[in-house]
Structure 1
Amino acid sequence: MGKIKTEHSLDSPDAKDRTDQDSSIKNNEKPEDMNGEEELTYEQKLFFVNAIAQPMASKKTAGRIFKLIRKANQHKTPQQKPCMYIGLKNVQTRIRKGDRGIVIFAGDVSPVDLICHLPGVCEEKGLPYIYVPGRRDIGAAMGKSGGTLVVLILLHSEYEESYNKVVEDIKKSSNAFGI
């Protein structure tokens, strides 16, 4: 059955909550997420990253990375080789087997021992890698509600320009840290 729409008077106790929420949406503020928690800003997310999360993507680079993840996620076909590998085990396997691409790490992984060996492997194999502040951001870019620790994005002709921009940004940020 359908929902019955009712009119609430402005005197009801929840009317103030609705009007506050409506005004925040009109002012282009982000409403609270599904769990009732407010979305953290990029700068606030940086407080939760690990000590080894270097090089960290700038806000602009992180936006480009999430856009690239969205594009790579759209190219899922069973007939072709995937354009993106998701998760620690899959990424480790693909790197070991010689796949080339960009490795994106979540900076808020705990315990850090889960991924601390992978940046060294990436450097050894010559793969560009970078950290973003939150694993939930990576998951959200893929359209998932959960988070992801690490993603390997392979080059594809559909998003080659975006891929190359991200690689350039990673090289710039890696040089700044002496990596």
Structure 2
Amino acid sequence: MATDEVNPKAYPLADHVFTTTILEIMQQCANSKQLKKGANEATKTLNRGIAEFIVMAADAEPLEILLHLPLLCEDKNVPYVFVRSKQALGRACGVSRPVIAASVIANEGSQLKTQITNIQTSIEKLLV
């Protein structure tokens, strides 16, 4: 698959600018321990009701390993978005490995609350 082609199942896909914004927020969330990395951890945060939003990598192989997450997100009413690169997602999560999914988790009294809310709103606009 060519690098500029993205699996059509990876919807909604953030554009370049929005991806940068998301990854910057995720970096800050990683620093303040408000981030869970990996599809399994993301699933757990959804089931526990502590996920603020979910970010998934559109280049996960096979993409099907992630596709239970959008369904779960819709059940739990949690916004979700795809970014193009698992490598970039991994870097934003503060690890050197690729990360195919990550969950930003709720934290009362967090300084990032407004930024997280802005991302949630932007993701919801993508879904319309």
Question: What is the TM-score normalised by the length of structure 2?
Answer: 0.89
Gap change, CA 1:46 and 1:172, over 3 Å in 2: farther
Higher relative contact order (CA 8 A, sep 6+): 2
Alpha-carbon distance between aligned partners in 2 of 1:168 and 1:98, rounded to the nearest angstrom: 18
Structure 1 match to 2:23: 66
Greater gyration radius:
1
Say if 1:50 and 1:109, in contact at 8 Å, map to a contact too: no
Which residue pairs with 1:167 in the alignment? 120
User: What does the per-residue CA deviation read over 1:45-71, in whole Å, with 9 as the maximum and x for residues that have no partner?
Assistant: 542x22210100011211110111111
Higher strand proportion (structure 1 or 2)? 2
Identity between Structure 1 and Structure 2 (%): 22
1:84 CA displacement:
1.2
Paired residues of 1:140 and 1:147 also in contact (CA < 8 A) = yes
Cα deviation for residue 97 of structure 1 reads 2.2
Instruction: Name which of structure 1's ranges 91-100 and 58-67 shifts more when overlaid on structure 2.
Output: 91-100
Q: Distance in 1 between matches of 2:44 and 2:113?
A: 24
Q: Describe the SS at the equivalent of 2:103.
A: strand
For residues 2-151 of structure 1, what are the structure 2 equivalents within 5 Å? 45-47=3-5, 49-76=6-33, 83-151=34-102
Two-structure CA RMSD over aligned residues (Å): 1.6
Q: CA deviation at 1:172?
A: 1.1
Unaligned runs of 5+ in 2: none
Report the count of equivalent residues. Answer: 125
SS at match of 1:105: strand
* Distance change >3 Å, CA 140–CA 54, structure 1 → 2: same
Of 92-101 and 143-152, more deviation after overlay is shown by 92-101
Given that residues 45 and 133 in structure 1 are in contact (C-alpha distance below 8 angstroms), is that contact kept between their aligned partners in structure 2?
no
